Amino acid sequence: MSIFTLGAAAGGLSAMLMNDRIGRKLSIMISAVPSTVGYLVMGAAQNVWMLLLGRFLTGIAGGITASSIPVYVSEISHPGVRGALGSCPQITAVFGSLALYALGLVLPWRWLAVAGEVPVLLMLILLCFMPNSPRYLITHGKRDEACRALKRLRGPNSDYMAELNQIERSVNSQVGLQWQDLRSPFYYKPILISVLMRFLQQMTGITPILVYLEPIFHRTAILLEPKYDAALVGAVRLLSVMIAASLMDRAGRKALLYTSGFLMYLAMLTMTMYTHKVPSEAKNGTLGTSGWLGEEHGAVTGHLMDPITLIPLISTMVIIFAGYAMGWGPITWLLMSEILPLGARGVASGLCVVVSWITAFALTQLFMHAVDAYGLFAPFLFFCVICVVNIIFTAVCVPETKGRTLEEIENYFRTGRSFTILDS
């Protein structure tokens, strides 16, 4: 996982250059190259270094798509369905994880690498039939092509010309972006909000919990095999993010962020108390010899423990993932693509991905050291505090973008007062 996160950070850096130069669509298509090569290398691996190289290459692809896909989806979507469509990348990511869990039950790992080629090639083929982002085309002076793309996306009977004119006014107001322009609240506020949201999203601990999910379940002596527990959590995540997608354009972004943050806070708090209390009550447990979560670290181990004590852990893990998938998982990606100004959207989205994956890498490395030094309850206590910070951050800094066009959102940061269209 660590080598993947480093590759994803590198992919985010490359997306900072590609998104605005060659376009969102072509950037996504180019990501198929390192992804395909990476899976081939892993499938044919004869040494550990080949596996690491394959993971790094697929990480690069993941970083590019994490930066480009949310921006592309938001720029081609109608405001009325942008929330639901903006959740689709998270839905497909969770579905992919669940599919891998399921396939892992019946396929050897080499064939899993081969199976990873299928969605990559399917994505590449389908993108050939998709238009470029109208906003990208307008930025590069291709008005006629942008008009055709918007007509195709909205339908010939829609008022697509009015939307095209709004996009043109927004683009013309941001021509010739310079470094000194970043001192303007119009640029630095949405960029800071987006970067901080991606940082805080990872600081909730979702990545290290996912990475060490099976060891945590295994060392808590859950009666099912750990691989089935992981698949169960994947199913819960998928259901939760689908519920979030259905509510995104009705309940609004902030309501789901509040709900998500509060659920994760309750779950992390319960986990903190549970893992802190258990060691004093589980002295009859038998410590495994090969694991990293020992009895002294707050893990529940052994065969003599009452199975009912496992219920809080299972339910809490489900609430963590359900809460995350309902808000702080999909909405951070969506808001990033909605609030970033067009003139800096390509570069800033790549920056958000870099910050996100570097934070994930650092947390994944530090998680085991924190467990060794202080016990399993310590990182969960830290994650609990972060969830409170997330709720406060949502209340103070995050705007509600439900039902607003991208141009209205841009003008909100320009005026600092209202969601209106720039008329001049």
pLDDT at 280 over 60: no
pLDDT of the residue at 203:
92
- Average pLDDT score over the chain: 80
- Structure pTM? 0.77
pLDDT at 421 over 80: no
Cα angle: 228, vertex 229, 233; to 5 degrees: 115
Question: How much of the chain, in percent, has pLDDT values that exceed 70?
Answer: 81
State the virtual CA torsion across 179, 185, 188, 189 in degrees, nearest 10.
-170
Between 184 and 282, the higher pLDDT residue: 184
pLDDT of the residue at 33:
93
Give the least confident one: 18-22, 76-80, 180-184, 389-393: 180-184
pLDDT tens, position by position, 358-374: 999 999 889 888 888 88
Give the least confident one: 92-96, 164-168, 178-182, 183-187: 178-182
pLDDT at 296 over 70: no
pLDDT tens, position by position, 211-224: 887 666 665 555 55
